[in-house]
Amino acid sequence: MAAFVVRNPPQDLPAVNFVNGDGKEQSLGDWKGKVVLLNIWATWCVPCRAEMPALDKLEADLGGKDFAVVAINIDRGGGDKPKKFLAETGATHVQLYTDPSGKMFSVVKAVGMPTTLLLDREGREIGRLVGPAKWDSPEALALIKAAIAAPPSA
């Protein structure tokens, strides 16, 4: 977590829509009230493949009324390859989200793959990490639990 960059004050994100595994359009506003770990990934990204099991375990351990992992695939061409990728990595708790617009990477100003943003309950970025991470490690869990426990900002 040493590479995690804190945003102080938290930064608003531009609106961008994406699609869930059922083809329904969604936005980050759908998670307002929850702390969100927003992960941008692709099937061709080798570090993304290594990271996905930890994201899945994190969702299994902490996902619920206060927290969610929202992992958005940015491949072009639909959900078949990303669905296969999730199955191959054993990800059963992380839901499939895809970005058919191709805008997510630039909207969040990502500079590498994977890019992961931690969002507060208002949907603002409170920090990010570029590159893979052990999101199920004690350090990552402490970071996320602190974000969940943080009082709402004014």
Looking up residue 111, the CATH number of its domain turns out to be 3.40.30.10
Q: 112 in a domain, yes or no?
A: yes
Please compute the mean of the pLDDT values over residues 103-127 and round it to a whole number.
94
- Total domains in the chain come to 1
The 10s digit of each residue's pLDDT in 52-106 is: 999 999 999 999 999 999 999 999 887 899 999 999 999 999 999 999 888 899 9
User: What is the pTM (predicted TM-score) of this model?
Assistant: 0.95
- Residue 154 belongs to some domain of the structure: no
Domain that holds residue 51: 5-149
Within-domain flag for 46? yes
Any domain includes 129:
yes
SS3 letters for the chain?
A: CCCCEEEEEEECCCCCEEEECCCCEEEHHHHCCCEEEEEEECCCCHHHHHHHHHHHHHHHHHCCCCEEEEEEECCCCCCHHHHHHHHHCCCCCCCCEECCCCCHHHHCCCCCCCEEEEECCCCCEEEEEECCCCCCCHHHHHHHHHHHHCCCCC
